[in-house]
Structure 1
Amino acid sequence: MEFSQHDDNDNFSLTKFESMLKTNNVLFFDSSEFENIIQHYLEIGKIALAKKAIKMGLEQHPTSVNLKLFQVEIYVLEDKLQQADKLLDALYVIEPSNEEIYIQKASILSKRDEHQKAIDTLMIALKLTENDDDDADLYALIGMEYLFMDQFENAKDYFIKCLELDMEDYSALYNIIYCFDFLNLNSEAIDFLNRYLDKNPYCEVAWHQLGRQYFSLKDFQKALAAFEFAIISDDSFVGAYLEKGKVLEKLKKYEEAIENYKITLTLDEPTSFALLRIGNCHEKLNQHDLALQYYYKTVHEDPLLDKGWIAITKFYNKKRNYQKALFYINKAINIDCDNVIYWKLYAQINHRLNFLEEAERGYKKTLDLGNYELSTWLSRADILIRLGEPEASALNLIQAAEFYPETAEIEFRLAGIYYTLLETEKGFYHLKNGLLLNSEFDFIIEELFPLIASQKSIQDIILNSKKQSS
């Protein structure tokens, strides 16, 4: 009942404060009321109202250290670090054993990327705390500072200390598993979670994290059991149904996967991920109309999700309906013209349709966006050859050779191009390189440059090279 009474008082104070703001009547609040009002606004992100409450609070209680500490917190939020430092120094003279002063000082040091100093300061605060709740908060703060320094082992240890004092601090639990993941300690993470679950058998978050660990180790049966326990612990846990669906897909139980994904649609707003996975399951079951229906729902729900557009495009690609595939990849590019996967698909589809200029444009754009796969360079080079632009093709291949030096596929193409351009010395140089690297790729000359391949001098070079290597 005491908590209910406390909540009622807080609500009354808030209502009274907001009423005062509307009427401009100045009412009196004691300092603890102001503290609760400020804390409420900070927690819900209403910084402007928090600042008003601090200002009015300090007007009514100018000596309140706690209200001044809230002022420090606002300064830190607004990156006014010098002002925060100055006010903290003044507060330290008044209350040198107030742990909150050290916590705020650590926050300033952290903002300045002085994380070790922040940790040292938090350690001082730790010596001044008087209850486990405060200790738990400080352990979490120290853990975060170690995370900022990429010291995952130390971070993990402090988050574990935090969790030992507050078993329901799920942020600490998530951070512990994040550290285990980063350190590639899946088995250790599983041991830790099992120990935690011995004490908290109905913690859906821990079961969910345990399932993810088993999933990463490809132990799908144990992962499935863990996600089922997460659902038993909380039958409205959307994340557990999604993860269970992923496991069922791995086990090729597509109908059951669809059922779990569909449950998430009833529990919350439809997610593009669930819709996409349902479409994928239907496609695996050869239920093509349903698959397409869910792919369309995916891009309708989230037009920016590239996987949705890619799924539709690849669906039509498999059906060899290249015109429709091209239509949808064009729609995708209109939404996001810097998506490298879209451009690669655009190039490949146009290539299949023999729209060479569009295909070349697609491959060039793919390269411009940083996709430097060998196949992209070679496809563009071959198209430029077919378009009668050997010089551009050679330039493209020379650029490719910077990323893929000593590559036979590049050398044979350059040989053919230079022989075509009657630059026989260059042609001979690249032909010899290609033969030395891998003579089995000599068919490239025959396929792309049949007139060159038919010349006796070229045939002799290839034949002599193969005789020497054998």
Structure 2
Amino acid sequence: MEEEEFEFEFSEDPKHSVERFEEMVRNDDHYFFDSHVFDNIIDYYIEKNEPSKALRVIEYAVSQHPFVVTFLTKQAQLYLIMNNLPKAFESLNKAELLEPSDSDIFLLRGNIYENLGRYDEALEALFKALEHTDMQEEVLMQIAYVYQNLGDYEQAIEYLKRCLQKNMENQDALYELAFCYDVLDKQDESIQFYQQYIDNEPYSYAAWYNLGNAYHKYEMFEKAIDAYDYALLIKEDFSSAYFNKGNTLIQLNKFEEAIEVFKQTFDYEMPDAHTYCAIGECYEKLEKMEEARNYYKKAVKISSALADAWYGIGVTLDFEQRYFESLHYYKKALKIDESNPDYWFAIADAYYKLKNLDESEKAYEKVVELNPLDVDAWLDYSSVSFEQKDLKKCIEIIAEGIKNNPEAPELHYRLVAYLFADGQAKEALTQLHKALSIDPEKHYLLFEYLPMLQNNKVIIDIINSFRR
């Protein structure tokens, strides 16, 4: 006796279709489902994050509707999610045999190649997708992403612009374009593009926002604030614009205004650690250390991994001459970000103030290792050795600093002072000529460190000859 096959064409909600499908599987029956019903059942399992069950449905769907390409492309997507790439490619190859001009096949294949880092093959697939689709915007965006991964930001810009020609309101394209200009350090081109864009789309808050960011990077802070204000006029709840406007006000030393702007973000979203930290920095600049510390503490309460907030607490304590306590918080920041030279510098300075010169010296050594262009660090590092009466070492330190910063007059004048202090008068005078040739007006640095040299007639005569 032949097994009977039932046909179901459900119009009810997907959940009922799912129940009927599961009943069929349980009972080992054979029901026929329309392709759109199978689609609903597959989507149901995908939304429930049950890819294995969705794949099982697709097997039934393909057996009943062997020429429906969408089942194979969904199968490929699910295999991709499950990281079974050979199976994903197999499904796409079957789909291409059925429908060689289906753009979804090439788009998905391009995505897989991109995930594998096979960018040339990804582009080949995406260009084919572009030939066969009416929805070019999505494909153009994907091509731009691949060019970004290749490090070809110029080409990425071209495809992002093409994407915006298709849809002027594509905010992702606007933000990615700003990113590409930023990487290429072409803020002038970025400004020009967004100005032209705004002429056509004056109510695009994303364009005004990106224009503000470009002005900020170009240090055109007043214009940046105007651009952020336009973005906020169009979209009052645009928290990112408030935050960036606050950062721009900090650059203009308008700390009280910045605090108010940062606080406005709380009207539209929950306070976050970075905003609290920024407010803390403003209070710190205003030398309102208790208020600053309160906001830094609020920041670490939300995110204990925010190193700058721990560092900020340390700065406020250091200002109050609570050096031992500040050291504790600097170390907490350093534990999160061990390669930050600012944290090492703060630790070196705190140890110095606590008269622990050995630890201070070790920390300064780390600062110049991480940032050999920090002239102040070289000066302070050498000063610690000078206080320990190790003239040979402090001369070596400054000489190394000069290798890394040959045009820094501060280092040259300090070397002159150390050479004189070490009794190397001839070498000191040779070095003095070098220092004066770089910047004769900063000769006072020599006397700040060794005031007694102001009475040395030879030195004064050399200085006067350069100044004339």
Cα-Cα RMSD: 4.4
Query: What do the CA deviations read for 1:1-52 (whole angstroms, capped 9, x no partner)?
Result: xxxxx998456556777x779x9677866544454555576678x4xx2243
Which residue number corresponds to residue 434 of structure 2? 437
Which residue number corresponds to residue 72 of structure 1? 76
Which residue number corresponds to residue 126 of structure 2? 122
Residue 302 of structure 1 deviates from its aligned partner by 2.2
Aligned residues between the structures: 443
Moved more, 302-311 or 109-118: 109-118
Say if 2:386 is the partner of 1:385.
yes
C-alpha change, 1:364 and 1:112, in structure 2 (3 Å) is: same
Name the amino acid aligned to 2:142: L
Report the Cα distance in structure 2 between the residues aligned to 1:303 and 1:25, rounded to whole angstroms: 54
| 2:249 and 2:257 in contact (8 A); partners too | yes
The correspondence for 1:99, drawn from 100, 103, 115, is: 103
What is the percentage of aligned positions where both structures have the same residue? 25
| 1:347 and 1:358 in contact (8 A); partners too | yes
Moved more, 260-269 or 96-105: 260-269
Which aligned pairs between 1:316-465 and structure 2 lie closer than 5 A?
316-334=317-335, 336-370=337-371, 372-390=373-391, 392-393=393-394, 395-397=396-398, 399-405=400-406, 427=424, 430-431=427-428, 433-438=430-435
C-alpha change, 1:116 and 1:288, in structure 2 (3 Å) is: same
Report the Cα distance in structure 2 between the residues aligned to 1:167 and 1:25, rounded to whole angstroms: 54
| 1:231 and 1:241 in contact (8 A); partners too | no
Report the Cα distance in structure 2 between the residues aligned to 1:108 and 1:445, rounded to whole angstroms: 64
Residue 342 of structure 1 deviates from its aligned partner by 1.4
Which residue number corresponds to residue 150 of structure 2? 149
C-alpha change, 1:447 and 1:252, in structure 2 (3 Å) is: closer
| 2:255 and 2:285 in contact (8 A); partners too | yes
C-alpha change, 1:193 and 1:106, in structure 2 (3 Å) is: same
Moved more, 338-347 or 77-86: 77-86
Residue 344 of structure 1 deviates from its aligned partner by 0.8
C-alpha change, 1:209 and 1:113, in structure 2 (3 Å) is: same
User: 5+ unaligned residues in a row in structure 1: which ranges?
Assistant: 1-5
Q: What is the TM-score normalised by the length of structure 1?
A: 0.74
Which aligned pairs between 1:15-414 and structure 2 lie closer than 5 A?
30-36=34-40, 38=42, 46=49, 49-62=50-63, 63=66, 64-76=68-80, 81-111=85-115, 113-129=117-133, 131=134, 134-166=135-167, 168-181=169-182, 182=184, 183-184=186-187, 185-195=189-199, 197-198=201-202, 201=203, 204-216=205-217, 217-218=220-221, 219-220=223-224, 222-232=226-236, 235=237, 237-246=238-247, 257-283=258-284, 287-334=288-335, 336-370=337-371, 372-390=373-391, 392-393=393-394, 395-397=396-398, 399-405=400-406
Report the Cα distance in structure 2 between the residues aligned to 1:215 and 1:415, rounded to whole angstroms: 41
| 1:227 and 1:243 in contact (8 A); partners too | no
User: 5+ unaligned residues in a row in structure 2: which ranges?
Assistant: 1-9
| 2:310 and 2:333 in contact (8 A); partners too | yes
| 2:73 and 2:105 in contact (8 A); partners too | yes
Name the amino acid aligned to 1:436: H
Name the amino acid aligned to 1:292: R
Report the Cα distance in structure 2 between the residues aligned to 1:464 and 1:302, rounded to whole angstroms: 60
